[in-house]
Amino acid sequence: MIRTRSLTKDFVVSRSSTVHAVRGISLEIDAGELVAVLGPNGAGKTTTMRMLTTLIAPTSGTATVAGHDVVAEPAQVRRQIGYVGQGNGAGHTQRVRDELYSQGVIYGLDRRAARQRAGELIEALELTELTGRKVADLSGGQRRRLDVAMGLVHAPPLLVLDEPSTGLDPQNRANLWQHILRMRAEYEMTIVLTTHYLDEADSMAERVVVVDHGEVIADDTPEVLKAKLAGDRIVVTAADTEGARRLARLSEHLPEARDIVLDGARVEARVSDGPGSLPELMREAQDAGVRVTTAQVHRPTLDDVFLNLTGRSLRETEGNGENTDGENSDGANTDTQEAAA
Ligand SMILES: Nc1ncnc2c1ncn2[C@@H]1O[C@H](COP(=O)(O)OP(=O)(O)OP(=O)(O)O)[C@@H](O)[C@H]1O
Ligand SMILES: [Mg+2]
C-alpha cells in the first residue's frame, strides 16, 4: 500500500538555514496493516504524512501509494486515500450533515450515495444528535470525530490520521478508537496514524514505527520492540546499604543482567525476564542473609524503548517540544508489579 525509498524533505527557511525535516525514510506498509508512527515534536511525522498524501513534494527519494507515485500521479493517489490532518479539516459554517454530504459530492459520489454515506458515518461515529449543529459549535472531541468521518466519506483503501486523538479526553479517545477499528473491519482499510500517546500506540497498533530527527530508528511490533530494546527492570531495596551492595553483586548473575545501578539501599537492574528473575534474587538474598524491604518488577513501555534508543524520554519531549524535567519514567504508563518481600 505504501512504499517509500529514501524519502527526504528539506525546508529552506532562509539562505543560511535549512530544516532537514525528513532524512531518507524507507518504509513498506502492506495492505490491511495498522501502523502507528511515534516520535517527539518535530520528528518529521506530519511532514512524512503530507508527502504521502501529495500535499507537499519530497526534496528527494520516492514514494508510491497504492502503486501510484506521489509526484507523478497525485490524482490517482488522492483517490485512494483519506487524510485527517493534524489541524481540523472541516469548515466552520456548514452544519455537520451538510459538511459530510458535500465532502462526498466533492469526492465524486452521486447525490444519493453521498447522502447515504453521510448517514452511515453519522451513525457509526455517533454524530446523530449533532447533525444540525454548525461545525464551529462542536466540542473538540465531537469535531475530531467529524474529521475522521470526513476522511472516511469515500471509503478509501488507505486512511492516514495525523494525531487523531490528541486533545481528546480518555473517554473520547477510547470511543474514537472503537469507531476507527470498526470502520477498519468494515472497509478493510490500511491505517497509518501518528500519535504521541505511547499507551495508544502500544495497545492499538500492530506495528510501531519510531521516528526521531527525521529518521526511522525502530520498526516492529510493540511487543518485540519492548522485549528487544528495553527489557524488564527489577528494583529492590535492602534494609541497609551493605545489604544493597551484596544484592547488586548477586543480581549480576541473573540472566542477561545489565545496567545495574546501586543507589544507597536501592538496587536497580535490567534483566531479560523480570517476573522470573526477581524470585530467584529473593532466594539468593535469603540464603546470603540479606534483608530485602521492597521488590518490584517494571515491565517496559514504549517510552523505555525510546529512551534506550535515544537517551531521551519521549514523554519528557512531549508538549511544547522542549526537553523538560518531566515526571520520572515510572509514571502512569509503567506496568508495575509489586511483590511483597
Ligand atoms: N513549512 C515548513 N517550513 C519550515 N519548517 C518546517 C515546515 N514544516 C515543518 N517544518 C519543520 O520540520 C520539522 C518536522 O516537522 P513536523 O511537523 O513534520 O514534525 P512532527 O513530527 O509532526 O511534530 P509534532 O509531533 O509536533 O506534530 C520541524 O522542525 C518543523 O519545524
Ligand atoms: Mg505533527
Distance CA 194, CA 43 (A): 11
Ligand 1 atom nearest to CA at 196: 25
Assign a CATH topology to domain 2-225: Rossmann fold (3.40.50)
- Cell numbers 492516514 label which residue? 160
pTM of this prediction? Answer: 0.82
pLDDT at residue 88, rounded to an integer: 63
Distance CA 105, CA 200 (A): 33
Ligand nearest to the CA of 40: 1
Distance CA 70, CA 55 (A): 9
Distance CA 260, CA 268 (A): 6
Domain 231-339 is found in CATH 1.20.140.10: no
Distance (angstroms) between ligand 2 centre and the Cα of 51 equals 13
Closest CA to 22 of 94, 88, 70: 70
Tell whether ligand 1 has an atom less than 6 A from the beta carbon of residue 141: no
The CATH 3.30.70.1710 domain(s) of the chain lie at: 231-339
* Residue among 9, 22, 41, 52 to mutate when testing ligand 1 (max atoms within 8 A of CB): 41
Tell whether ligand 1 has an atom less than 6 A from the beta carbon of residue 41: yes
The CATH 3.40.50.300 domain(s) of the chain lie at: 2-225
pLDDT digits (tens, 9 = 90+) for 161-183: 999 888 778 887 888 888 888 87
Q: Quote the cell numbers at residue 120.
A: 452511515
Distance CA 267, CA 287 (A): 18
Tell whether ligand 1 has an atom less than 6 A from the beta carbon of residue 44: yes
Which parts of the chain register pLDDT below 70?
88-91, 316-341
- Cell numbers 506496568 label which residue? 335
60-65 and 2-14 as β-strands: parallel, antiparallel, unpaired?
Answer: antiparallel
Ligand 1 atom nearest to CA at 48: 18
Distance (angstroms) between ligand 1 centre and the Cα of 51 equals 12
Distance (angstroms) between ligand 1 centre and the Cα of 152 equals 25
pLDDT at residue 236, rounded to an integer: 96
Distance CA 256, CA 180 (A): 40
